[in-house]
Amino acid sequence: MLGTELSSSTASVACRTSWWGKGLTSSSLGYRNRLSLIAALDLVTCPVASQLPRIFTSIGEDYDERVLPSITTEILKSVVARFDAGELITQRELVSRQVSDDLTERAATFGLILDDVSLTHLTFGKEFTEAVEAKQVAQQEAERARFVVEKAEQQKKAAIISAEGDSKAAELIANSLATAGDGLIELRKLEAAEDIAYQLSRSRNITYLPAGQSVLLQLPQ
């Protein structure tokens, strides 16, 4: 850190560049779901020159080391409580701006001026990552189970449609028989006989002898 320089005639102050970082648990921040947060701030702080005597008397020359950690924890606790876990990640710029505004206002009560306050790091601890991964696994398992159920439903519907088709075909055949009587059966027999005769005629080793007819063999004399 840069030191504070005071001349005997005037209070000329060199602003101090501070980096503050600390692991913050849900208890210290009052955050929900027992999650831990890790935050870091970059800031420049200067005392108000006219208030230097009071600052040195009431706080001491190490005023920044005494004041900044406590008020930073206080402000971070207040700001992060306004956002849920997702918003802390997706709306980081807004979080940083609110931290800067609130911290600047709070520091002014101690006679300190803050400049260029930047929230450089804000992330959840290991348990948050594990929780996210567990949620993703659970979602994948749920999706897989849903697929299995849908597949079973589709197979069930296909079986029902197939059974209904077989039933409809049987019904059509029964209706045809009722309408045509034995004629339909005889027609099917003739069609089958014609098919058999055609297949036999194509075989060289089989001779067809019509029933009820005599066949004379021409024998050599």
Q: What is the pLDDT of residues 119-132, one digit of tens each?
A: 877 777 666 666 65
Nearest one of 93, 87, 74 to 28, comparing CA atoms: 74
Mean pLDDT to the nearest integer, 15-42 = 55
Helix and strand tally (H, E) in the chain? 7, 3
Q: Rounded to the nearest 5°, which phi and psi values hold at 148?
A: -60, -45
| N-term to C-term CA, the chain | 139
48 compared with 24, residue with greater pLDDT: 48
Identify the top-confidence range among 124-128, 137-141, 213-217: 137-141
pLDDT in tens, 33-43: 566 777 777 88
Predicted local confidence at residue 19, as pLDDT: 45
Counting Cβ atoms within 10 Å, is residue 152 exposed (0-12), middle (13-18) or buried (19+)? exposed
| Distance of alpha carbon 185 from alpha carbon 189, whole angstroms | 6
This prediction has a pTM of 0.48
Predicted local confidence at residue 183, as pLDDT: 65
Counting Cβ atoms within 10 Å, is residue 125 exposed (0-12), middle (13-18) or buried (19+)? middle
Q: Answer whether 122's CB lies under 8 Å from 92's CB.
A: yes
Mean of per-residue pLDDT scores for the chain:
71
